[in-house]
Structure 1
Amino acid sequence: MIEIDGSHGEGGGQILRTAVSLSAVTMEPVRVVNIRAGRPTPGLKNQHVAGIEVTGRLVNANINGLQVGSTTIEFLPGERRGGRISYDIGTAGAISLVLQAVLLPAILAPSPSYIEIHGGTDVLWSPPVDYIKHIFDFMLQKMGPKIEINLHRRGHYPRGGGRVSCSVEPVDKVHSIDFVEFGELNRVRGISHCVKLPAHVAHRQADAAESYLRDKGLEDIDIERKYWPKEEDPHLGAGSGIVIWAESDRNLRMGGDSLGKKGKPAEKVGREAARQLSDELSTGHAVDSHLCDMLVPYMAVAEGESSIGVTEVTSHLETNIWVVEKMLDIETKLEGKHGQPGKLTLKGTGISPSN
């Protein structure tokens, strides 16, 4: 059984998600110890339990230590399978982080999967579901996977109540990628939303983002405003946020996002997302600082050599590289200093459901 030290590097839930996800792909048991050891409240939280349990259902796994607060788990895969899975995190735990754990084994399953998760769609310390749908999924599909993500209801902290469904058509192989340079900017698109709040919040977020980007010389900008009349709003609690993305002539995307909170002006929310996107674009590299670590497990199981130019070498990227090296015994080459733009190259294992 492979043992992974959950306190290594960034030391958060990402190590756990990647280790369990790759275990479900390789069918090799894994033990993860010291889970989130450096966090104020170490061990598993509800969203980590959800990610492990849903992933386990895809491979009929036996799982030891699966409870909130546990700092050690053992994940023993049984057999690959697809099917319908529904799971309620029970809190505003991040749906996007659950999807990060389950999507890789789902795309290499022997049959299609339909996964429905209830929880938080727009919460701190995790990618918004709009980012997962419009940036992560868009870029991932260039590696072959066929994924459809649908956002049915938003869920903000603390009440949650969001609902997201995901349909996955499995593939026999994940293709390698060569995303080093972003190319020429074609356009900027985005979604600014608010729930249980006046419509002007969504408008002000979007207006501020557009104004910032136009001041930087960007022209083709279209940010959708989403809001609900008070009497028709189905959400449980108030919240707002914005996700914007740039599209290049090479048909690549990178993004920026920001969440609203009580006392934070909507204009600041919009400017934060726009500044983030502008900073990412200024490097000329193809893969933004949030997406780069998410792509690493897919590159690691792809057939052939993959290369990505990253806008920033982050601790999450460095940690995920370490995990795939431990789990798959592969070699990687990361060029660039921490906090600076860089380039990652690795040769994948070419895993397929028939292996």
Structure 2
Amino acid sequence: MLEIDGSIGEGGGQILRTSLAISALLNKPVRIYNIRMNRPNPGLRPQHMASVKVLADLTGAELKGLEEGSTELIFSPKGGGVKNTVIDIGTAGSISLLLQAITPYCIFTGSRVKLRIIGGTDVKWSPPIDYIKYVAAPLFKKMNIIIDVNLVKRGFYPKGGGVVDVSFHPCDELKPIQIGEQSKILQIKGVSYAGNLPLHVVKRQAESAERVLKESGLIPANTPIEILQEEPVNVLSPGSGILLYATMDKDGLLGSDSLGEKGVPAERVGESAANSLISQLKTKAGVDQHMGDMLIPYLGLAAGSSKIYTSNMTLHTATNIMIVEKFLNVKFKVLGGLNKPSYIEVEGRYLNQLR
């Protein structure tokens, strides 16, 4: 049984999600201790327990220590098959973070897996579901990971109630990728949205983002900028947000997002997303900091040499690297450093060599 110290690196829920994702994929038990010990409220919280329960259901895993506040968990997968199912995370638990935990297992079941997931589509401390659809999924496809994401209904904090249909295509083998420094912005797209709020909120978010992008001096005047303005929808809790993403000339794809908050003008929301994208574009990186983090397990599982250039090497990414190295017995090389634009490379391994 592999043992993982949950207090290393960023010491949060990311360690739990990555460890369980690879444990389920390899069908190998894992013991995680010191779970979230670096946090003000250590141990498992309801949103973490949801991911554990879902993966346990999908894999037929035996669990020990699954209770709120627990700082130790033993997860022993049994390799059960996945059936088409409905997953209700409860309230506004992040659907995007749940997808990070279950995707590695779901793509390697040998058949298509279709899930309906109910929870939060646009919540703090996690990428919005549009990021998964418009940024993560296209980059995953370059590695032979095909995921169809269909947003049925948005769900904001605190009541959630968002609905997303996800279809995971079966994958036999991952392809290594090379996404280095970029030299040209091909286009910028985005989506501005709201629930239980006036249409002018959507328009102000989009227009302020476009204004900041055009005034930055970084983006050539002939670069297409298209930000979709969604009609506001009925939701359980009001909210708004915006996603921007830039397609680059050498397979690069950078995303940025911002969520609306009570008392924060819609213009500030749009400006925040635009300024974040601009700062990433200045690095000429091929992937943003979220994808730099999310790609790590797949790079280790893609036989051959992979290399990515991320706009910011976060502590989340560094922690993910530590976990993946321990599980897969691979060695990542990082040229750059923490909180800096960085190259990350690895010689991945075939999955059938690890099982």
Q: Structure 2 length as normaliser, TM-score?
A: 0.96
C-alpha contact (below 8 Å) 2:177/2:308 kept by paired residues: yes
User: Aligned pair in 2 of structure 1 residues 106, 26: CA closer, same or farther (>3 Å)?
Assistant: same
Q: For 1:73-104, what per-residue CA distance to the aligned partner results, in whole angstroms no more than 9, with x for missing partners?
A: 11111125232132111121111100000001
Q: C-alpha separation between the residues in 2 aligned to 1:82 and 1:353?
A: 23
- The Cα shift of 1:45 comes to 2.1
Q: For 1:262-283, what per-residue CA distance to the aligned partner results, in whole angstroms no more than 9, with x for missing partners?
A: 0001000000000000111100
Partner of 1:161: 161
More deviation, 215-224/314-323:
215-224
SS at match of 1:262: coil
C-alpha contact (below 8 Å) 2:328/2:354 kept by paired residues: no
Partner of 1:115: 115
Q: What stretches of structure 2 of length at least 5 have no aligned partner?
A: none
Q: For 1:24-74, what per-residue CA distance to the aligned partner results, in whole angstroms no more than 9, with x for missing partners?
A: 111111011111111122222222122122222332211222233222111
SS at match of 2:151: strand
Aligned-residue Cα RMSD (Å) equals: 1.5
Partner of 1:317: 317
SS at match of 1:24: helix
The answer to whether 1:221 aligns with 2:225 is yes
- The Cα shift of 1:304 comes to 1.1
- The Cα shift of 1:21 comes to 0.4
SS at match of 1:36: coil
C-alpha contact (below 8 Å) 1:82/1:110 kept by paired residues: no
Q: C-alpha separation between the residues in 2 aligned to 1:198 and 1:262?
A: 14
- The Cα shift of 1:336 comes to 0.8
Task: Give the residue type in structure 2 aligned to 1:345.
Answer: E
C-alpha contact (below 8 Å) 2:194/2:240 kept by paired residues: yes
The answer to whether 1:275 aligns with 2:279 is no
C-alpha contact (below 8 Å) 2:251/2:286 kept by paired residues: no
Q: For 1:219-266, what per-residue CA distance to the aligned partner results, in whole angstroms no more than 9, with x for missing partners?
A: 3101001123xxxx4311100000000011234311010000100010
The answer to whether 1:149 aligns with 2:149 is yes
Q: C-alpha separation between the residues in 1 aligned to 2:184 and 2:109?
A: 36
- The Cα shift of 1:315 comes to 0.4
The answer to whether 1:70 aligns with 2:74 is no
C-alpha contact (below 8 Å) 1:47/1:93 kept by paired residues: yes
Please show how residues 1-355 of structure 1 align to structure 2 within 5 Å.
1-217=1-217, 218=219, 219-228=223-232, 233-352=233-352, 355=355
Task: Give the residue type in structure 2 aligned to 1:162.
Answer: G
More deviation, 205-214/85-94:
85-94
Task: Give the residue type in structure 1 aligned to 2:257.
Answer: D
Q: C-alpha separation between the residues in 2 aligned to 1:301 and 1:72?
A: 27
Task: Give the residue type in structure 1 aligned to 2:213.
Answer: L
Task: Give the residue type in structure 2 aligned to 1:40.
Answer: P
Task: Give the residue type in structure 1 aligned to 2:182.
Answer: F
SS at match of 2:193: strand
User: Aligned pair in 2 of structure 1 residues 287, 19: CA closer, same or farther (>3 Å)?
Assistant: same
User: Aligned pair in 2 of structure 1 residues 11, 94: CA closer, same or farther (>3 Å)?
Assistant: same
Task: Give the residue type in structure 2 aligned to 1:334.
Answer: V
Q: What stretches of structure 1 of length at least 5 have no aligned partner?
A: none
Q: Structure 1 length as normaliser, TM-score?
A: 0.96
Q: C-alpha separation between the residues in 2 aligned to 1:153 and 1:265?
A: 24
More deviation, 193-202/85-94:
85-94
C-alpha contact (below 8 Å) 2:180/2:250 kept by paired residues: no
- The Cα shift of 1:352 comes to 4.5
C-alpha contact (below 8 Å) 1:43/1:69 kept by paired residues: yes
Q: C-alpha separation between the residues in 2 aligned to 1:335 and 1:49?
A: 35
Task: Give the residue type in structure 2 aligned to 1:126.
Answer: S
User: Aligned pair in 2 of structure 1 residues 293, 141: CA closer, same or farther (>3 Å)?
Assistant: same
Number of aligned residue pairs: give it.
Answer: 351
